[in-house]
Amino acid sequence: MASLLFPLSSGIFVSRPDHTSTRISSPCSTSSRFPAVSVLHKQVATRRLRLCCPAAQSEQLSYRTAGVDIDAGNELVRRIQKLNPQIGGFSGFVPFGDSYLVAGTDGVGTKLKLAFDLHKHDTIGIDLVAMSVNDIITSGAKPLFFLDYYATGKLDVDVAEAVVKGIVEGCKQSDCTLLGGETAEMPGFYSPGEYDVAGFAVGAVKKEAVIDGSCIQEGDVLLGFASSGVHSNGFSLVRKILEVSNTDLGDQTPWGSGTFGDALLAPTIIYVQRLLSLIDIADVKGVVHITGGGFPENIPRVVPKDKDLGFRIERASWEIPPLFQWLQSAGNVAESEMFRTFNMGVGMLLIVDKESVSAALKHDPEAFVMGEVVAGRGVNIV
């Protein structure tokens, strides 16, 4: 029986097949296609849990109804591309001898609101480091140093210290140096007790070792790395779902793993050491950091624009964590919107040559096969 496909404007398809198959083809050699300067935009069977949660909303929630317009963000990128056609990757590149310096910048978004409510600030710094270093390692670059920006209306030294402790821990996990930062006290600009943070990471990779997606081809295999939860994207929708479902951050989760606050503030996983060690073992052709925009906005970015290639993802190849199941049910969120907003339990995706799959899984048994590269553009979840 054929799958039913539901196309979205962003290029993702969600389907429900009775049977799926895979197709494998031969590898190709690596090459580099980076310009001198680029700018950052910025087990396994499916098991549905019966989760106790408030009755689903009659009106479907989405990232847009929660106040975030992904399409507007994409339009901004298109306009910026007219000024600088080289943007679009996960990080920016500058030639430096026989290497590239690779840079990325990001923040933590409205996950900060949960930290404010819970008065818990010691893991926000880990999130901040993760968002930038996970971007620059998609090129195979090793992070070298990190800088941070911390802004608040009135400086609370204890809170700022807790945030910086998290940044230090994130730098330790990614084996990079916290080079410095800026603390800005801006009276009247932020609400009492609130702050914002931004991070900047710089790494390096040899030119011959750059992972640029240029040799991705039909039949290459997709490997997934599990996430720790929502990571640091989609929290405007998360907060809206908590609001409409009358759920408090201190409430126990129905799947029995602490409170909602615990689950939602779990720090973003830093994949640096794990990915760099795997690159030495397997022929990794592309790496995707699943962040804002979820699967359809992030995965296609790894393929060169001149290649007519897409991705077929097996929906049953990993178990979607109960947190995402609860969010979908409590917020009455369409599955296509879930995949466009959240990482759905997959924090990083690798495209590897078929001949490397066995070695990769032997080296990293927690990774899982989740699909393949196919002809035609877009992301097809079946």
pLDDT digits (tens, 9 = 90+) for 165-185: 999 999 999 999 999 999 999
Q: Is residue 328 part of a domain?
A: yes
How does 314-335 read in b/e, with b if 16+ C-beta sit within 10 Å? bbebbbbbbbbbbbbbbbbbbe
Burial of 88 (0-12, 13-18, 19+ CB in 10 A): middle
Containing structural domain, residue 88: 83-210
141 and 244 belong to one structural domain: no
Local structure of 336: helix, strand or coil: helix
Overall average pLDDT of the 207-215 stretch: 95
Place 29 in a pLDDT band, splitting at 50, 70 and 90. Answer: very low
Contact between 174 and 207 under an 8 Å Cβ cutoff? The reply is no
173 and 204 belong to one structural domain: yes
118 and 259 belong to one structural domain: no
Overall average pLDDT of the 19-46 stretch: 34
- For position 234, which CATH number holds? 3.90.650.10
Listed residue (200, 361, 170, 150) closest to 269, CA to CA: 170
Overall average pLDDT of the 321-334 stretch: 97
Overall average pLDDT of the 215-228 stretch: 98
Overall average pLDDT of the 202-225 stretch: 97
Q: What is the DSSP letter of 301?
A: G
The pLDDT of residue 87: 54
325 and 196 belong to one structural domain: no
**Of 171, 190, 210, which residue constitutes the final position of a domain?**
210
Distance CA 149, CA 129 (A): 12
Number of domains making up the chain = 2
Distance CA 174, CA 126 (A): 10
- Residue 216 vs residue 68, higher pLDDT: 216
The stretches of the chain forming alpha helices (DSSP H) are 70-83, 111-118, 124-136, 157-174, 235-244, 260-264, 272-279, 294-298, 322-331, 335-341, 357-363
Contact between 364 and 224 under an 8 Å Cβ cutoff? The reply is no
Place 75 in a pLDDT band, splitting at 50, 70 and 90. Answer: confident
The pLDDT of residue 150: 98
189 and 275 belong to one structural domain: no
What percent of the chain shows pLDDT beyond 70?
79
**Predicted confidence (pLDDT) at residue 32 exceeds the cutoff of 80:** no
Local structure of 21: helix, strand or coil: coil
- For position 171, which CATH number holds? 3.30.1330.10
Contact between 100 and 205 under an 8 Å Cβ cutoff? The reply is yes
Tokens matching residue 320: 């979607």
180 and 271 belong to one structural domain: no
- Residue 37 vs residue 103, higher pLDDT: 103
- Tally Cβ neighbours within 10 Å of residue 97: 9
- Looking at residue 365, its amino acid is P
168 and 192 belong to one structural domain: yes
Alpha-carbon 238 to chain mean position: 16
Half-sphere exposure of 140 (CA within 13 A, CB side): 24
**Predicted confidence (pLDDT) at residue 28 exceeds the cutoff of 50:** no
199 and 218 belong to one structural domain: no
**Of 165, 182, 210, which residue constitutes the final position of a domain?**
210
The pLDDT of residue 272: 98
Length of the chain: 382
- Looking at residue 172, its amino acid is K
The pLDDT of residue 70: 64
Overall average pLDDT of the 8-21 stretch: 38
The pLDDT of residue 58: 60
* pLDDT one-digit tens code per residue, 106-160: 999 999 999 999 999 999 999 999 999 999 999 999 999 999 999 999 999 999 9
Q: How much is the pTM?
A: 0.81
CA torsion sign, 153 to 159 to 161 to 167? Answer: negative
Q: What is the DSSP letter of 297?
A: H
Overall average pLDDT of the 97-114 stretch: 96
**How would you classify the pairing of strands 378-381 and 12-14?**
parallel
Least trusted range by pLDDT, from 87-96, 171-180, 239-248, 334-343: 87-96
Place 72 in a pLDDT band, splitting at 50, 70 and 90. Answer: confident
Q: What is the DSSP letter of 52?
A: -
Across the chain, mean pLDDT equals 85
111 and 251 belong to one structural domain: no
**How would you classify the pairing of strands 142-152 and 177-185?**
parallel
**Predicted confidence (pLDDT) at residue 378 exceeds the cutoff of 80:** yes
Distance CA 325, CA 263 (A): 13
**Predicted confidence (pLDDT) at residue 18 exceeds the cutoff of 50:** no
What percent of the chain shows pLDDT beyond 90?
74
**Predicted confidence (pLDDT) at residue 330 exceeds the cutoff of 70:** yes
Percentage helix, strand, coil for the chain under 3-state DSSP, each rounded to 5? 30, 25, 45
